[in-house]
Amino acid sequence: MDGLLPPKWLQGPPFDVVAVGENSIDLLCVTSSFPAADNKQPLLQRLELPGGQATTAAVGCARLGLRSCYVGAVGDDANGARVRETLEREGVAMRVVTRPGVATRNAVVLIDAGGRRSVLSSRDRRLDIAGGEIDDAIFTSAKLVLVDGSDLQLSHRAAAAAREAGVPTMCDLDDVSPDAIKLLELIDIVIVRADFVRTATGEPSLTAGLRHLAGRSGAEVVVVTDGANGAIGWSAGRVIEVKAEPVRVVDTTGAGDAFRAGFGAAWLGAAGESLDLIEMVRFAARVAALNCRDYGAQTALPTRAEAGLAGEGWV
């Protein structure tokens, strides 16, 4: 196991955010439109950039001024080294397991002229982390723990440890499976895409699906993101709607991860004050929109100043 903790953080309070799960090196292929079967068309750009749900959220939090830590696994290849180098450069602490002879998770991302993307990913299950490989104390050393669906056993372990210690949890789930639905019972801030809600609840209406998911999970907050249509949120029986922030979209890769980084920053910035869900979702939507300004999941993640944060304030 490799561990890196920036010296300036060796003393002081625990991390603000620990992000658990996926890292990646993405091959971005930019085309005028998504390719059709049995057809040829020009490749306009080819870029290789860091991505991954948990690592992108961790970097997003760090750029917003939070003390961020990433937990996950890489292979002993050049991509694994690049993942670690990126996190170190961004000031993100790490608890990373290295798997000899295993390829680091990677993806091919097809991007059209409108910035829409389609992802083809490859992840070796040998990257899953077993109990005892990482000290579970890391999951209780934060003010907020984010888990994704790439290694559900690890996510369950992290969320359970956080829940027992009274640390709030947030999720990033794509696939609807019994294990993913079970994980929701340990999540305080559920943030999922519209298609996840429709599949998980069977409700045609996003508002009805949102309420259904809120009751099923027991979460304090549920937010459903719906791309250019904006987002809707639920807390304490109240449903709110927020429009997407206007931006010239280059690439939507990593927008959801950026949204979670923004929401996490706003949540922690509330510091126990009454929850203003509309302002939190608006800030998260702004961070997500700004991340769509350039190619790659992490390239355009905004700094505090770019996100409109002044001094010690958040929202």
Are the C-beta atoms of 158 and 17 separated by less than 8 Å?
no
Identify the CA nearest to 63 among candidates 206, 313, 265, 266.
265
pLDDT of residue 272: 55
User: Can you give the pLDDT at residue 204?
Assistant: 87
Domain 2-32+43-293: CATH superfamily, name plus number: Ribokinase (3.40.1190.20)
- Round the CA-based radius of gyration of the chain to a whole number and report it: 18
- pLDDT tens column, 255-301: 999 999 999 999 998 765 666 899 999 999 999 999 999 999 999 99
Distances (CA, A) of 207 to 65, 154, 240, 259: 33, 31, 9, 19
Tokens of 76: 């002993």
Q: Low-confidence residues of the chain, pLDDT below 70?
A: 1-13, 271-275, 310-315
pLDDT of amino acid 14: 83
Kindly list the strands in the beta sheet with 189-193, ordered across the sheet, starting from the edge strand earlier in the chain. 2-4, 93-99, 68-75, 15-20, 142-148, 169-173, 189-193, 221-225, 231-235, 238-242
φ, ψ for residue 13 (rounded to 5)?
-70, 170
> DSSP 3-state assignment of 127?
helix
Is residue 242 a contact partner of residue 278, using CB atoms and an 8 Å limit? yes
Stated pTM of the model: 0.93
Domain ranges across the chain: 2-32+43-293
